[in-house]
Structure 1
Amino acid sequence: MIPPLSAYVDESMRVSRGFYVMAAVLVPPADAERHRAALRRLLLRRQRRLHWRDENGKRRVQIVEAVAALRPSVVVVVGTGLDARRQERARRKCVEHLLWELGRRLVVEVFFESRGPSMDGADKRLIDVLRTRNAIAPRLRALWVAAVEEPLTWLPDIAAGVAALAVDGEPELWEALGVDEAPAVVEIG
């Protein structure tokens, strides 16, 4: 029997390029502590968390190599046609498609990186609507966690950053990450 999975979710945007990327990294609960330990080892002195946009090119390569060694299962949704004034609409479209994708797998818990009470509340309302419409698997349970408290949220931050580079014409780190599945593309414009 295959055990259920937990998914950790984060996003990246390239407003000037017109796309929104949402990534989920699937982690078997039995591997969670090993993954957390590997991620904490990547922290620099006085660094509280890994954040893709804060890392330089050399560190990004080091981080991708370490994450690739974990053999991550990654699901990415790329929303195209992003209007800078409608970023939350883009997020809703990507969340909906991502949750549908996760429902097709053995995911039970979905951990979103918290964006604060107001924005987390908007996500919760969206998920309630999706449940009402039977647009997501009923077994999915969504939770919100702070990135400084849950290192596993660093994985989708990295995956989203790497996927955004690939969409922007720099696929080298995506290839180095070793992800089998190409990102799903959703029109959000």
Structure 2
Amino acid sequence: MPIAYGDESFREHRQHGFYVLASVIFEAEVADDAREVLLGLRGKHRKLHWYEMEPYEQHRIIKHLADLDGLHVVVTGAPVPLQKQERARAKCLTQLVHELHGFGVDLLVLEARSAELNRRDVSTAAAARRSFLPKEAQFRVDHCPGPLEPMLWAADVVAGACRAAYLGHSEFHDMLADRVYDIEIDTGCRP
């Protein structure tokens, strides 16, 4: 079974907020190559992070991700008014669990946050599994510190590219278009 790795990007705003939860999936025979590519692109950074990169670095990394045989499943939810980020994340994660299961994934590794927020993710995924997946389905969420897993960097880059596209700057998303499966949802979050 393939493993998905996920990270987020979001914008809280009274009328135009949104939440992007991006995942990357590489088959086992490609995953090690992908890690090596990402480690080679890291440069002086502790990890690759979309907002710490210059545009030329973003372009170079997106180009490499587009060349790797992977699938990037991305859920974008709106609206996300002020102080509704975690509710929007839960809605996006619920949808992502359903989508990933459809691609044969039973493990999603997310970048670690605080212990309490990690527990929320695990609880949300468990509730999604019980509510939306077949009774015998297995699906779980684990967490890993960002600097330790290059696949999380790939998810961060995909999330950054999708966030930029949502804001009207689609150059990077367009480079990944053949690899990205986009899902848009209504979060139900209102001001």
Normalization by structure 2: what TM-score?
0.90
Segments of 5+ residues of structure 2 without an aligned counterpart are none
Cα distance in 1 for residues equivalent to 2:36 and 2:170: 27
Aligned to 1:59: 57
Cα displacement string for residues 47-71 of structure 1 (whole angstroms, at most 9, x for unaligned residues)? 1100011111111111111111213
1:12 aligns with 2:38: no
Aligned to 1:183: 182
Cα distance in 2 for residues equivalent to 1:68 and 1:181: 10
- The structural deviation recorded for 1:182 is 4.6
SS in 1 for 2:168: coil
Percent identity reads 29
The correspondence of residues 136-175 of structure 1 with structure 2, limited to 5 A, is 136=133, 138-175=137-174
Q: Would you say how many aligned residue pairs link Structure 1 and Structure 2?
A: 184
Segments of 5+ residues of structure 1 without an aligned counterpart are none
Aligned to 2:104: 106
Cα displacement string for residues 13-41 of structure 1 (whole angstroms, at most 9, x for unaligned residues)? 02233110011111112222111110000
In structure 1, what residue type is equivalent to 2:8?
E
Cα displacement string for residues 160-183 of structure 1 (whole angstroms, at most 9, x for unaligned residues)? 100111111111111112434452
CA separation of 1:107 and 1:182: change in aligned 2, threshold 3 A: closer
Cα displacement string for residues 100-154 of structure 1 (whole angstroms, at most 9, x for unaligned residues)? 0001111122111111211101111222322333x23622232111111111111
Cα RMSD (Å) of the superposition? 1.5
**98-107 or 176-185, which moves further after superposition?**
176-185
Of 122, 129, 132, 2:130 maps to 132
